[in-house]
Structure 1
């Protein structure tokens, strides 16, 4: 999915920074891994159960990321940092309409921050090793865009634009869960194929699909043209490729491990793809009720 070249984007929607305090703490896994740490702390759990460990030395001298020159959709099409900013704009446009319309909950935009190396958050320090993540304490989604290349090189994802935009939409999907009051369910049986952690991640995948459903038809600011051009089959394949790449079963196999559903926190590749499609095909928030699903491999599409 590409942006309309002449659409105007608000680069100020995204903050740029870095600079963690103290050692480099690798937490959980990418695409939402930090959530489990925060919820564990908030509910009085043992952070040692989800913290990775302290590795290496501080990498927090700052960020080389810049959003200078990010003003139009054409900039978003050529520059990955601009693409994150434009995707955040599009997510605001879609959720600003759909969340209130479908659930009665007023959308409050999350913070979106780009960093390089390491970053200090209200949830603690994190490094690029964590991958993209959402911190519910400061209601901010964090991205080191170098992850997008790792997603291709290490996990075999497509490098297409919707693969990257899916990642941004997934993290903002956690913010939607936070607003709807379902994010805390990640603490309930946080591991396991049917546990709260997996259900939380699959819901974020589904919300990413809901965004994709509306993204090419939702007007931009002041009734302007949508940020994004019409989706193509290739766009959807790109998004599904990214969802497949970060399935727990695929990651375990790529690491030379046996597939062990008891340790899953994000869901299988097939489940992640199916829940994205459930959101995309319907555009409905209610299609993303992973917590009521009896079979996570078989989303029930509401009629």
Structure 2
């Protein structure tokens, strides 16, 4: 993936919380409005799904904007040329591209995420305190995406055998952004069953994969505030990396690596095959209707 060197990056919705307390060693305290999309960490799988899906209450522990150090970590992210040289600036560029695509796709129904927050170790969120072990997640309580960037090397690649590459993170961010869209559109309220290959929780996750595919299909058409193309090139290798990542974090693959057996009745995110299938569906068909996993007889 390459960015248009002249495209202007907007850092307004990206910030860094620095290193939190606990260094990732503790557990996670999650009140009613639980995060979505996390659940891959350490040598165990932490199931982080909605137990009370309709309750999106905030938390007194949410990140104070004044503590975000985005002006430091992301200060050099001004143009697409910076994104071509810096992984941090790629993150800004991907968020900008997601924002542009979905604002066009949803029109007046759209609202952007409040923030993409990177952190190290642990972080306070609108869904409570979380550690790196949760993995990347979206919190509906504050409408923010949280990401400890060490996840990709330490967990996805080393522990789960997933791929290593620039577009892997872009796929993950697009998936988490998909959860925000589900929050905006009210889809989260449709989740009743929490576990199993055909459960509502799995359908929610697979729909987020499909939304990630939709964005990937149109990524090279997204624009900055001045109308300049943001992403100038997206290759088949990038798409293959996304598919490899989706496959690596399928419930069956994770269970095989972490517990040596597959227990389908406990799935919360979908099989490797299903995750890749629904990403491809978004990529090939590119419509919200095609991504309606809740209407599919089987996912």
TM over 0.5: yes
Q: Aligned residues, how many?
A: 274
Q: Tell me what 2:37 maps to.
A: 31
TM-score with structure 2 setting the length? 0.83
Gaps of 5+ in 1: 45-60, 297-303
Deviation of the 1:107 alpha carbon: 1.2
Match of 2:207 among 197, 203, 207: 203
Deviating more after overlay: 28-37 vs 123-132: 28-37
TM-superposed CA distance for 1:161, in Å, is 1.7
Q: 2:56·2:141 contact (CA, 8 Å) conserved in 1?
A: no
Q: Aligned in 2, Cα 1:67/1:256: closer, same or farther, shift over 3 Å?
A: same
RMSD: 2.7
Rounded Cα–Cα distance in structure 1 between residues aligned with 2:6 and 2:228: 11
Summarize deviations over 1:265-292 as a string: whole Å, max 9, x none. Answer: 0000110001011111122111110111
Runs of 4+ more than 6 Å apart: 27-30, 61-65
Residues 29 and 131, structure 1, Cα contact 8 Å, conserved in 2: no
Cα shift readout 1:99-139 (whole Å, capped 9, x = no counterpart): 22xxxx52100121111111101110001110100001111
Deviation at 1:63, TM superposition (A): 7.6
Normalization by structure 1: what TM-score? 0.82
Deviation sequence 1:32-63 (CA, Å, 0-9, x none): 4486247458299xxxxxxxxxxxxxxxx998
1:45-64 paired onto structure 2 within 5 Å: none
Q: Is 1:165 aligned to residue 178 of structure 2? A: no
Q: 1:139 to 1:38 in 2, by over 3 A?
A: farther
State the shift of 1:30 in Å: 8.3
Higher relative contact order (CA 8 A, sep 6+): 2
Call closer, same or farther: CA 1:43–1:192 in 2, change over 3 Å.
farther
Does the CA contact (< 8 Å) of 1:112 and 1:141 recur in 2?
yes
Choose the corresponding residue for 2:101, options 83, 90, 94: 94
Deviations 1:244-299 (A, max 9, x none): 11100000111142111100000001100010111111221111101111121xxx
Q: Which residue pairs with 1:16 in the alignment?
A: 16
Q: Deviations over 1:188-247 (max 9, x none)?
A: 11111111110110010000111111110123222112x112322111101101101110
C-alpha contact 2:37 2:48 (8 A) present in aligned 1: no
Matches within 5 A, 1:63-74: 66-74=73-81
